[in-house]
Structure 1
Amino acid sequence: MAAAPLALPLLLVLAAAAITGCGATTVAYNDRAVVIDGQRRIILSGSIHYPRSTPQMWPDLIRKAKEGGLNTIETYVFWNGHEPRRRQANHLHPPYNFEGNYDIVRFFKEIQNAGMYAILRIGPYICGEWNYGGLPAWLRDIPGMQFRLHNDPFEREMETFTTLIVNKMKDAKMFAGQGGPIILAQSASHYIHWCADMANKQKVGVPWIMCQQDDHVPHNVINTCNGFYCHDWFPNRTGIPKIWTENWTGWFKAWDKPDFHRSAEDVAFAVAMFFQKRGSVQNYYMYHGGTNVGRTSGGPYITTSYDYDAPLDEYGNIRQEKYGHLKDLHNLLRSMEKILVHGEYNDTSYGGKNVTVTKYTFGDSSVCFINNQFGDRDVNVTLGATHLVPAWSVSILPDCKTVAYNTAKIKTQTSVMVKKANTVEEEPAALRWSWMPENLRPFMTDDRGSFRQTQLLDQIATATDQSDYLWYRTSLEHKGEGAYKLYVNTTGHEIYAFVNGKLVGQNHSANGAFVFQLETPVKLQSGKNYISLLSGTVGLKNYGPLFELMPAGITGGPVKLVGINNGTDIDLTNSSWSYKSGLAGEQRQIHLDKAGHNWRSHNSSIPVNRPFTWYKTTFAAPAGEEAVVVDLLGLNKGAAWVNGNSLGRYWPSYTAAEMDGCHVCDYRGKFKAEGDGIRCLTGCGEPSQRFYHVARAGPLRGGRRRPDARRVPHGRRGPRLRGGRRGRGRRVTLSCGGHGRVVTSVDVASFGVARGSCGAYEGGCESKAALKAFTAACVGKNSCTVKHTGAFAGAGCESGALTVQATCS
């Protein structure tokens, strides 16, 4: 999510015939649309980030996006994932990483195989709730480096990486002019003219497009919009199309925040308003959020999950009702494409700016939109007939006579995913654990460090983000014994303090306060005393002005010993400090379970509430193809692996704050993720995250598993469904999705349901005829369609919506 005011992504649009080749596609634009092979096109795109899923998942995710009515897939390019170390090449590390989840060419080939277009957002700054916004931490080691500003060191590195990606795409013939799927590409900068020059050096013949920047845009740069709503935004000059590069379908998770939910009605309202007001290119951020694998989450308090309340959830399951409601809208918009991109348009306001009718006319055909931007009242609008338009909704009339779609009226099924225990090992107690203490002895003195300094250094600049941890160690001579209070001021995210080899205190920053203190009593012995401080981070900041200069760690301190009885203070800030990055277990790669590791066997006295301990168990992979998650509830804080693959950081003991938005949800009115008026939150007072995705292809394989983790329970997910339709003669479809699930029962078939929620409806105007019909047609099948007939209606309930609730397994 590129929300930062200083993030200026520039979009490269391939000019017509910029590159020629077999099957070449020409791409141009005008004021109404992107023009592909001479045809004006509506672009309906969705963001799927390749590193946040696995190569085995990509075809299914792309297929679901296409079946959801999209014609384009968009992704960022993740610089710090592709170049974690600056062009280092040795027997352990190749100069660049394009393997596994980072096989970007394979990802775009999957898009091409699906017959879809692609948008390549090179960045290299991407924001995206990703460590440092995708910029490698090693950039800070380069003299004179200033991130995202006009300076030679950054421009050189940016150009090197951008050229690398462009050439990789050219070599694979992925650009549209070469017959590939990429019709748009993007690069980001805060210095537009230099970027334009750099683009010309790439010799792809492209103009630039910039999002979130409407002022002082060069004549050859096209500006675009990001946000929850972009209908009232227009480009800064004529002759260019209206492009919405990021329509935020939800919001990201944070350790101290509940889950944000943006309703299907509101997302559809925003999209319909955008196309009513001459929009032509719209991209969902995100369409599939996925998972921040390993240590990639951006911002110190962003969780591993990047579900984003997207139409495809973190595990790749279809999120109904959002997916289906938007699919219906996409299909309708594409059916009206020619009229929308060619037609003359006319806007008519009804009683003020909150109610508007827009009519598009092309030849003998016409299309009409009616919007009601009131958040508290329905309105009647006469357009041939009188049409009731609910509050905060848009009605679309493809013939300007009959309403075919209203954004507030959902006619697709709702699915609620429920987790089911693995039948092989239903209880965590069934798992047999081994354990191993972290070897802290090498760090309990100030010997054998990587280097020494007489100052307290920044953690990011010192460790270049190769580990979450950095040791600060020093020593002092003390005459006799003494009682002190150890005081440490830190801008890190957590800290542990050891004195003479014993843990004496720990603390972490709460609620995003990145400056905090550790104060703990300590006793010094006569003679030499050792003080070891372990600073930890849980993600690096990814947005804001000069975000890379925000310190982390015990930068500058002070660190001091405050005398308790004698009034004597000892300032250690400018002592000789020895530095070492990482933990011993990380350096020994404990998570790979190599031979020679001294695991202690399972017994009844597995240590708990003990920091710096490794745990290991094995479990059988659940049968089937459904998504697998591990439930880490009951743990404190750490990191988990399965078969050597990182699941990311966990912190289930950190509960989400209680917020007013947890207790009210109404789709009407503007959606907010910050400030007053937040609503539709879930999970208040619960662990910020407890379930972690284990991809079946990649981390999870057949047979017994060896997950090196803190605890690895597990589960599967299956849906309960709700389908609804108004009006006789219409068809109601229920689908269990993929993975071989079938309808096992039809639980409710009724009109006018007003109590409970999907999975727990209490009924209302039950229809025995409908229940019988759906049971006969659906049980035992993956999907089914039943025609809504007059025989279904109960007495006094004929005007209600038919609601059908079923269970899949």
Structure 2
Amino acid sequence: MPPITYEYFDRQYYFGGNYDLIRFLKEVHNAGLYAILRIGPYVCAEWNYGGLPVWLRQIPDIELRTDNQPWKDEMQNFTTLIVDMVKQAGLFATQGGPIILAQIENEFGNVETSYGDAGPRYVNLCSQMADSLSIDVPWIMCQQADAPQPMINTCNGFSGCDAFTPNDENSPKIWTENWTGWCVLILHFSNWGSPDPHRPAEELAFQVARFFQTKGTLQNYYMYHGGTNFGRTSGGPYIVTSYDYDAPLDEYGMSAQPKWGHLKELHASIKLMEKALTYGEVEEHDVMMLWSFQITKYSGDGVNPACFLSNQNSKLNATIDYEGRTYFLPAWSVSILPDCKSEVYNTAKVKTQTSLMVKKRNTAMEASEVLYWSWRPERLGTSAKGFGGTFTVNNLLEQKSVTLDESDYLWYTTRQKEEFTLSVNTTGHILHAFVNGRLVGSSQYGLAGQLNFTFERKVWFNPGRNVISLLSATVGLQNYGAYYDLAPTGIVGGPVKLIGENTTLDLSNYTWSYKVGIHHNTLLLDWMVR
């Protein structure tokens, strides 16, 4: 639940249209589904700035995600707001609603040590604050091994959650994020300039089956339905606006075969074992001659036995005899036997149709009459020539501290004489350089995760005074990592230099004029404020 969507401006809330949380949860309930209310407020989620509004930076002495009173106050305010709204709508499970779990914070355990002694204190503060809200359903903290009771620590990941054990023996084993689309070897999203990640249906099904084989109780796909990060909501930096994620349902709601069908069959097979998994006792057997082979049986009084057979060898197929029957298990697969006799499903055996052919009348010619392209030019002239700055400072400022995320764009403008090579060191993400209103060059963001880059171009000045205008643009603010909120953007500190044959001028501490946004961006912001 990114707070930036509901509180773009301090204490100004909007829950209408696509942001109608209560309506969404009611639709979940009407569909017969359960919900996990993941409040955050820090959410990561590949959202711009981790889903937090950048105006938080203006609060004196605030430090995000640590034992800090201003941050604690903001966190308490937003979390309480959401909980009270949901309570009033009667949407928690104890009220007859769909919400069975709620989450505070997100994956802080991955970066906790970077915050020193304040890290564990912050974890306890989160727990105490959440527990004080008395929602009557369990609270979870994902990727938080030291989550104090009554918080339930849970697992996030591509794999490995079959081996996860909660930090309290009375806590259920929960997998809150099973990543459906990240690459196996290089964990990344769909980034500008990078290939789309893909995860095979067989591998995803294997991990789900292994999780329930090893006493898992709840598994949540991330994502099951891909989406779209509209506007400027994508984080990263450099994450594309599509959040399709190679999910079983793509961002348009279309089923992605064979993944969707293969998982549907898996879910139906596990459903056949529901009573045994819920009430049965567990017997586990490792086959010694095949160290990667495991048999798990759920059984008990009044419960029909159910079995999982898994082959965890990624290369070798296996044939095994069990209770008088022979089973063939392909490499890296799990077989499901709801009665411990007949195999109804194997994760490596894809039976679902991989493509669908639907005959439709071609209406392209008819539709072409109403299709059209529209465009409008961006008026860079006055800004590129150094006019319209709103304030001046004798140094190079950090970009988001100036823009407060009201725009991706910030103009840096100064004046100079003579002929030089213009050199600009920037933390990006994109730079367009103008001299006297004329574009002299552009530089794309640094590749392979390198956000810093140096732009250099030969420039020719007119006699007398000349204007250097640098348009810096961000492509999504960082959303993850220890102290991610402090990651610099823009031309902060520079240096910006003019390099001549016999001299070098450092312009970093010259007088720079600043202007947030470009023309159409300013019009949009004005519309939002009105």
Q: TM-score, normalised by structure 2?
A: 0.90
Aligned residue number for residue 521 of structure 2: 586
For structure 2, the 5+ residue unaligned runs are 109-118, 183-188
2:292 aligned with 1:362: no
Aligned residue number for residue 597 of structure 1: none
Which of 377, 394, 397 is the aligned partner of 2:316? 377
Q: Which amino acid aligns with 1:102?
A: Y
Shift of 1:446: 3.9
Aligned residue number for residue 535 of structure 1: 472
- Alpha-carbon contact 2:102-2:140 (below 8 Å) kept: no
Q: Which amino acid aligns with 1:354?
A: S
Shift of 1:213: 2.4
2:150 aligned with 1:220: yes
Shift of 1:558: 0.5
- Alpha-carbon contact 1:560-1:573 (below 8 Å) kept: yes
Tell me the alpha carbon deviations over residues 90-133 of structure 1, each in whole angstroms, 9 at most, x when there is no partner: xxxxx112122211111101011112211110011111111111
Tell me the alpha carbon deviations over residues 549-584 of structure 1, each in whole angstroms, 9 at most, x when there is no partner: 1100001001111114xx122221011111111111
Tell me the alpha carbon deviations over residues 743-778 of structure 1, each in whole angstroms, 9 at most, x when there is no partner: xxxxxxxxxxxxxxxxxxxxxxxxxxxxxxxxxxxx
Shift of 1:295: 0.9
Aligned residue number for residue 495 of structure 1: 431
1:434–1:312: structure 2 CA closer, same or farther, 3 Å change rule?
closer
Name the SS for the 1:297 alignment partner: coil
Shift of 1:434: 5.8
2:373 aligned with 1:442: no
User: What is the alpha-carbon distance in structure 2 between the residues aligned to residue 199 and residue 154 of structure 1?
Assistant: 15
2:7 aligned with 1:83: yes
1:550–1:237: structure 2 CA closer, same or farther, 3 Å change rule?
same
- Alpha-carbon contact 2:127-2:148 (below 8 Å) kept: no
Alignment of 1:115-134 (within 5 A): 115-134=32-51
Tell me the alpha carbon deviations over residues 245-274 of structure 1, each in whole angstroms, 9 at most, x when there is no partner: 011111231112112211111111111111
User: What is the alpha-carbon distance in structure 1 between the residues aligned to residue 424 and residue 60 of structure 2?
Assistant: 30
- Alpha-carbon contact 2:191-2:240 (below 8 Å) kept: yes
Aligned residue number for residue 167 of structure 2: 236
Alignment of 1:645-684 (within 5 A): none
Tell me the alpha carbon deviations over residues 259-294 of structure 1, each in whole angstroms, 9 at most, x when there is no partner: 221111111111111111100110000001211111
Name the SS for the 1:223 alignment partner: strand
2:179 aligned with 1:248: yes
Aligned residue number for residue 510 of structure 1: 446
- Alpha-carbon contact 2:127-2:147 (below 8 Å) kept: no
Name the SS for the 2:261 alignment partner: helix
Shift of 1:339: 0.8
Shift of 1:441: 2.9
Alignment of 1:400-799 (within 5 A): 400-415=340-355, 423-424=364-365, 435-476=375-416, 478=417, 482-511=418-447, 512-564=449-501, 567-589=502-524
RMSD of aligned alpha carbons: 2.3
Tell me the alpha carbon deviations over residues 282-335 of structure 1, each in whole angstroms, 9 at most, x when there is no partner: 000000121111111110211111111111011100112111111111112122
- Alpha-carbon contact 1:199-1:206 (below 8 Å) kept: no
Shift of 1:385: 0.7
Name the SS for the 1:162 alignment partner: helix
2:115 aligned with 1:177: no
- Alpha-carbon contact 1:446-1:577 (below 8 Å) kept: no
Shift of 1:418: 10
- Alpha-carbon contact 1:147-1:548 (below 8 Å) kept: yes
User: What is the alpha-carbon distance in structure 2 between the residues aligned to residue 317 and residue 169 of structure 1?
Assistant: 30
Shift of 1:352: 4.6
User: What is the alpha-carbon distance in structure 1 between the residues aligned to residue 202 and residue 374 of structure 2?
Assistant: 49
Shift of 1:426: 8.0
Tell me the alpha carbon deviations over residues 41-97 of structure 1, each in whole angstroms, 9 at most, x when there is no partner: xxxxxxxxxxxxxxxxxxxxxxxxxxxxxxxxxxxx11111111112xxxxxxx112
Name the SS for the 1:449 alignment partner: coil
Which stretch shows the higher mean deviation, 202-211 or 110-119? 202-211
Counting matched residue pairs gives 502
Shift of 1:168: 1.2
User: What is the alpha-carbon distance in structure 1 between the residues aligned to residue 236 and residue 401 of structure 2?
Assistant: 16
Q: Which amino acid aligns with 1:399?
A: D
1:552–1:260: structure 2 CA closer, same or farther, 3 Å change rule?
same
- Alpha-carbon contact 2:286-2:295 (below 8 Å) kept: yes
Which of 228, 232, 241 is the aligned partner of 1:291? 228
Q: Which amino acid aligns with 1:130?
A: W
1:311–1:584: structure 2 CA closer, same or farther, 3 Å change rule?
same
Higher helix share: 2
Q: Which amino acid aligns with 1:398?
A: P
User: What is the alpha-carbon distance in structure 2 between the residues aligned to residue 276 and residue 158 of structure 1?
Assistant: 38
User: What is the alpha-carbon distance in structure 1 between the residues aligned to residue 165 and residue 453 of structure 2?
Assistant: 44
User: What is the alpha-carbon distance in structure 2 between the residues aligned to residue 242 and residue 388 of structure 1?
Assistant: 29
Q: TM-score, normalised by structure 1?
A: 0.60
- Alpha-carbon contact 2:392-2:514 (below 8 Å) kept: yes
1:192–1:362: structure 2 CA closer, same or farther, 3 Å change rule?
same
Q: Percent identity?
A: 53
User: What is the alpha-carbon distance in structure 2 between the residues aligned to residue 146 and residue 589 of structure 1?
Assistant: 30
User: What is the alpha-carbon distance in structure 2 between the residues aligned to residue 392 and residue 104 of structure 1?
Assistant: 40
Shift of 1:185: 0.9
Shift of 1:591: 13
- Alpha-carbon contact 1:78-1:134 (below 8 Å) kept: yes
- Alpha-carbon contact 2:40-2:104 (below 8 Å) kept: yes
1:417–1:459: structure 2 CA closer, same or farther, 3 Å change rule?
farther
Shift of 1:590: 11
Tell me the alpha carbon deviations over residues 709-755 of structure 1, each in whole angstroms, 9 at most, x when there is no partner: xxxxxxxxxxxxxxxxxxxxxxxxxxxxxxxxxxxxxxxxxxxxxxx
1:469–1:218: structure 2 CA closer, same or farther, 3 Å change rule?
same
User: What is the alpha-carbon distance in structure 1 between the residues aligned to residue 315 and residue 2 of structure 2?
Assistant: 43
1:488–1:104: structure 2 CA closer, same or farther, 3 Å change rule?
same
1:124–1:418: structure 2 CA closer, same or farther, 3 Å change rule?
farther
- Alpha-carbon contact 1:445-1:474 (below 8 Å) kept: no
Q: Which amino acid aligns with 1:378?
A: N
User: What is the alpha-carbon distance in structure 2 between the residues aligned to residue 456 and residue 381 of structure 1?
Assistant: 69
1:590–1:207: structure 2 CA closer, same or farther, 3 Å change rule?
closer
- Alpha-carbon contact 2:419-2:460 (below 8 Å) kept: yes
User: What is the alpha-carbon distance in structure 1 between the residues aligned to residue 257 and residue 388 of structure 2?
Assistant: 56
